[in-house]
Amino acid sequence: MAEILTSQVVSGLATGCVYALIALGFVLIFKATDVVNFAQGEFVMASGFISYTLLIGLGFPYGLVLVATIVLSGFMGVVLERVVVRPIMDAPIFSIVIATIGASIVLRSSAGIVYGYDVLPLPTILSKDPVRVGFLQFTPMDVGVIGSSLVIMVALYLFFKLTKTGMAMRATAQSQTAARLMGVSVKRIFSLTWAISAGIGGVAGVLIAPIIYLDPNLGFIGVKAFAGAILGGFGSIPGAIVGGMLLGVIENLSGYFFNAGIKQVSTYILLILVLVVRPSGFFGAAPIRKV
């Protein structure tokens, strides 16, 4: 029993890490620009397909594929920001959200046209065979996913804390006006934010594609990640991460104890309960609203 539970928790953590990465992407854009990017899930999907083409279609080695995918995803993020978001930056938030929804439809249907709606398997270098250590049971794939996610998160943390650009981004997130006054090019920061967000989505795509199969409708995972982000507190980065991981574990455990249907909604039930008690999520700070 213990080993079944631990394997459930570990694989839950692995999926949870991917949710966390996607959630991170949402939160970064939101903090900097107040926009919820509905196309975030599609970034993940698109980068999965891009890595497929690079790996299988062009035969690039795995390491190069990883780097190239992240770069191309980042580029995709910038393009989206420039074409779809920048022109209506001053419009009501809802409109920008619709623009991202439209973009997500375009991305999804483009993938469908190019790759078909069939499901594509993406090979992986890490094995999915189980490994036993004491009462723990997991797969190298799980470890790889958790490991890479943690590396990315730490890297981002250091980036924000220590580099000049990272600080500029934090400044912009706090107050655009103040940042402008300090000489920060807010427009460039926005592009950079979208690029990083999309890039993280790219990593998530490469990590998750071998676990689930690639198909244009994969982007719907974004909704789950979004829920995880909210669970943890949407305004905060550690919140998004914890929320995502928590989501993965809860899903797995409730799937084990109940049935498939309950598994799917367990997160949302939990979410509603949490929101009723703490309207800003576990870690979110109550937003200070100026009267």
Partner 1 sequence: MKWFTAALTLLVLLASGPVRAEDGVTDKEVVIGAGLDLTGAVANWGVNIKAGMEAMFNRANAAGGVHGRKIRLVAYDHVYQPPKAVTNAKRLVERDKVFVMMGHLGTPTTKAVKDYLDEKRVPNIFPATLASMWTTSGKWHVGDLATYADQTGLIVDYLVKEKKIRKIASFYQDDEYGLDGHLAGKARLKHAHDLPYVAEVDYKRADIDFSSQAAKLKESGAEAVIVQAVYREPPRLAEQCHAIGYNPLFIGPSPIVLAKTIELGGKHVEGLMGVEVYPLPTEPGAFLDQYRADMAKYSPGLAIDTTNLYGYQKAALFVEAMKRAGRNLTRDSVLKAIESIKDWDPGWGLKYGYGGDNRRGMSNAGRLVVVKDGKWVKVSDWTELKEVGRK
Partner 2 sequence: MAWRRRLPGAVLVVVGLGLLALPGVADNYVVYVVTRLFVYVLVALGLNLLTGYAGQVSLGHAAFFAIGAYTAAVLAERQWPSVLCLVAAALFTALVGYLLGLPCLRLSGLYLAMATLGFTLIVQEMLLQLAVLTHGSEGMKVAPASLLGLTFDSDTRKYYLLLVVTVAMLLFARNLVSGRMGRAFLAIRDNERAAAAMGVNLARYKTIAFALSALYTGLAGALSAFIVGFLDPQEFSFFLSIQFITIIILGGLASLLGSVLGACFLIFLPELLAGLDVWQALVYGLIMVVTILFMPFGLSGALRRYAFRWFGIGSEPMIPRRLGH
Site for partner 2, rule CB under 8 A? 30, 34, 36, 84, 87-88, 90-95, 97-99, 101-106, 108-110, 112-113, 175-177, 223, 226-227, 230, 234, 261-262, 264-265, 267-269, 271-272, 275-276, 279-281, 289, 291
If one asks whether residue 263 binds partner 1 (CB under 8 A), the answer comes out as yes
Residue 171's binding partner among partner 1, partner 2, none (Cβ under 5 to 8 angstroms by kind) is none
From the list 70, 44, 71, 66, the residue with the least C-alpha distance to 55 is: 66
Residues numbered 189 to 218 that lie near partner 1 (CB under 8 A) are: 211-213, 216-217
If one asks whether residue 135 binds partner 1 (CB under 8 A), the answer comes out as no
From the list 201, 49, 41, the residue with the least C-alpha distance to 120 is: 49
If one asks whether residue 251 binds partner 1 (CB under 8 A), the answer comes out as yes
When binding is defined by CB under 8 A, the residue of 60, 86, 112, 147 that contacts partner 1 is 112
Piece of 53-61, 68-76, 87-95, 252-260 that binds partner 1 (CB under 8 A): 252-260
Task: Give the residue with the Cβ less far from partner 2, 10 or 35.
Answer: 35
Between CA 202 and CA 185 the distance in angstroms is: 25
Task: Kindly list the residues in this chain that would bind partner 1 in the complex (CB under 8 A).
Answer: 4, 7-8, 11-12, 15, 109, 112, 116-119, 121, 128-130, 137, 139, 211-213, 216-217, 220, 251-256, 259-261, 263-264
